[in-house]
Structure 1
Amino acid sequence: MNANPCNRYMVELANIVARGNRCRASYGCRRAGNGRDVISAITIYGARGDVDKTEAIWTAMETSRAAMWRERARATPHAKANAAWRNGYYRGFQEEIARRYQVLRLEMESDGTGKELVTVRSGQVDQWIETHVTFITDKPKLPKTTRPSQAAYRHGRQDGARQAIGLKETGAAGNWTLEK
């Protein structure tokens, strides 16, 4: 990935989408020319089909989110398309996505079959990571972010509520099907 202040939000969203699709995500860093640590890579772990789905969903969400925050800033009176607006929007968007995946997970776990599917696959991924991946214990010191705009946060939540998460409702609450 290119050095970008949005990379930390991209990693957080990748982790949310990965967990929602029985995968895990991690990030790698490198030292930039200015001496700062920057996030330079995202890795998604899981079964091939789950990883492919996670990558497609995450890429679509990132593309939408990157385009929508500027449009929202332009359309909102007294808003500026600056770092505070972007950070607030990004945070609200991903927190809404996380909330929706949490609701979905709780609904799936409410019956025995769904819970078993989620638990078994997640356990397999966690076990594989434990035996095959070595993470560094020292977290890189990433630069602080600009304080997020609360108005932008609300807009991010609204747009996150309309974002496709890889599943679609079939009408009644709690009925979800895979999108093709």
Structure 2
Amino acid sequence: MEQVSILFLINYVGSGTANTVPSDYSNQQVLDEINAVISSVATADMYGVANDYYPEFSDVLSRNRTSEVILKGMAVALDGGFVRKALSTDNKIFGVAIDDANVGSLVRVIVKGYLRTFEGNRFSTLQETYSTIVKGDQLGISATPGKISKTASIKHFTCFQDGIVSFNI
């Protein structure tokens, strides 16, 4: 593996020394300078810190003591102090897993908040069948444990804005 050194020899702040004065260089200009140095081995890109925003959580780590994997976006319930996939007959959910959890491993769970309903978003629900979710729709746990569905009889999620649901609020 080739080692590359990036020397930052320019005053990137420039006149931007106060909160009200912007830097003389944009993020893209700095990124372009980095890529000019490392382009033969890698490419640097902007990272949206908001991608790691967790809407609201407490007691975020729980253990999966079931015999099956819990997938990111699945609704979970508590059973004896441990999480399991929520069932269509559960009157209350504990929250939604934000990572996959192997058997016996810890899983991060958002216990209340807002999540997107679009497949592929970082923080989203895992639906039985993906469909458009619009303001006013209510969802619950489908016949497939952990998965969300509009046709569920017990509702846990409310769509307050197209494509975004709230739960345990």
Give TM class, smaller chain: under 0.3
- What TM-score does the superposition give when structure 2 sets the normalisation length? 0.20
Structure with higher RCO (Cα < 8 A, 6+ apart) = 1
Q: Which has the higher helix share?
A: 1
